[in-house]
Amino acid sequence: MKPLLCLTLIWTFCLVMLGAYVRLSDAGLGCPDWPGCYGQLVAPDEAHEIAQASADFGRDMRGEIEPAKGWKEMIHRYFAGGLGLLVLAACCLLWKKYPNLSRISILLPLAVIVFQALLGMWTVTMKLMPIVVTAHLLGGMTLLALLTWLSSQALLKSQLPSQLRPILIISLIAIVLQIVLGGWVSTNYAALACNGFPACQGSFAAPAGLSEAMQPIRQLGQAATGESLTIHHLAAIHWLHRLGALLLLICISALIWQLRKASPSWAGLIAAALLLQISLGISNVWFDLPLPLAVAHNGGAAILLMLVVAALAQVLPAQNIAQAPSPLSLSPNGRGGKIAPSSQF
């Protein structure tokens, strides 16, 4: 189980990064259909394939079919399919080998995978509707958090004092809210709407149009009334993300302060992840959102989420999920007597 969980966790993290790359490189609609690409399982890049795609979709597609963007989207879908197989294998083994593990906790990652596939389809069919794309991002982060929880119980042995549980939960909530805000910035293409730091458009006050910009049910680039969003609407979205970053900084700093004596290693890891994420966020503004830094900013959020979830898993009491004997759990006499059940994966 340990190698499989590690592989699945690493694969999920890479898929989150790949999804961010596809979105930020403006390739989210590189394939206008789902699950194929212009009616086939590979992106059309030959002249005859482009001509066939134009004929099949019933309109002149010259100048619109971009093979490079199509391949980015299809590679993302291939990786998503591979992750589905990995998660299915891991859940089947958990179901078989650990009968005391909650059936819901085993099925939950599979349910997230299915919902993610639906969100991926709706992302295309609804033409990058911001609420759908943001939900797709959150689904990937949710799956990453679930797998981190399972993997930390399998791989990590240290235990953190129970007094840390409240601040860890508060920090986790703050991270999730900030990921939502960050996703809303990205899916509305508002990352460059504030042309300065720390002020936004020369002011620390909220730009006009925040309520309209935060309406969830609307099309990309439009308000709920159908009018086009202005730069002030986009700046308001970005301003709210910065406010969330300030609140997150306060929460994570309090967590690090409480962790410093209980576990300096955990405190150091979370502090490094926080510093990295803040640096990436500021750098994206100063350097006009270069693609590598923008993708890395998504990865920094994922790393911070994983660290806090893993730390929380070390505080909460572990379930006794295993009844199967472990080959390393020998009797006290060390002579291969009765094998004791292990509580670890």
pLDDT, tens only, 121-145: 999 999 899 999 999 999 999 999 9
The stretch 216-230 carries a mean pLDDT of 93
Q: In terms of Cα–Cα distance, which of 166, 181, 175 is closest to 307?
A: 175
Residues 339 and 326 sit within 8 Å (Cβ to Cβ)? yes
Neighbours of 330 (CB within 10 A): 15
Neighbours of 333 (CB within 10 A): 8
Q: In terms of Cα–Cα distance, which of 135, 131, 133 is closest to 26?
A: 133
203 in helix, strand or coil?
strand
Neighbours of 251 (CB within 10 A): 20
The reported pLDDT for the residue numbered 286 is 93
Residue 342 — very low, low, confident or very high, per pLDDT cuts 50/70/90? Answer: very low
The reported pLDDT for the residue numbered 45 is 87
The reported pLDDT for the residue numbered 344 is 35
The reported pLDDT for the residue numbered 58 is 53
Q: Name beta bridge partners: 200.
A: 203
Biggest alpha carbon–alpha carbon distance for the chain: 79
| pLDDT (tens digit per residue) in 226-280 | 999 999 999 999 999 999 999 999 999 999 999 998 999 999 999 999 999 999 9
What residues have CB less than 8 Å from 273, skipping those under 6 apart? 300, 303, 304, 307
246: which 2 tokens?
């300030």
Residue 6 has pLDDT above 70, yes or no: yes
The reported pLDDT for the residue numbered 326 is 39
Domain-wise residue ranges, the chain: 1-45+65-155, 160-345
What CA–CA distance (Å, rounded) separates 329 from 107? 29
Q: In terms of Cα–Cα distance, which of 119, 157, 159 is closest to 312?
A: 159
pTM for this prediction: 0.87
The reported pLDDT for the residue numbered 317 is 65
What CA–CA distance (Å, rounded) separates 48 from 52? 6
Question: Among all residues, which ones are annotated catalytic?
Answer: 73
The reported pLDDT for the residue numbered 232 is 93
| pLDDT (tens digit per residue) in 46-90 | 888 888 888 887 554 444 788 899 999 999 999 999 999 999 998
> CA dist 122 to 5, 23, 127, 227, 271, Å?
29, 14, 8, 23, 37
Token pair 């119980």: residue: 153
Neighbours of 250 (CB within 10 A): 12
| pLDDT (tens digit per residue) in 289-336 | 999 999 999 999 999 999 999 999 898 664 444 443 333 333 344 444
Residue 284 — very low, low, confident or very high, per pLDDT cuts 50/70/90? Answer: very high
Q: Give long-range contacts, CB 8 A cutoff, 24+ apart: 92-101.
A: 93/1, 93/4, 94/1, 94/150, 97/1, 97/322, 97/324, 98/321, 98/322, 98/323, 98/324, 98/345, 99/323, 100/319, 100/320, 100/321, 100/322, 100/323, 101/319, 101/321
239: which 2 tokens?
């301003």
| pLDDT (tens digit per residue) in 104-113 | 878 899 999 9
| pLDDT (tens digit per residue) in 152-191 | 877 777 789 999 999 999 999 999 999 999 999 999 999 9
Top pLDDT among 191 and 93 is at 191
What CA–CA distance (Å, rounded) separates 204 from 207? 9
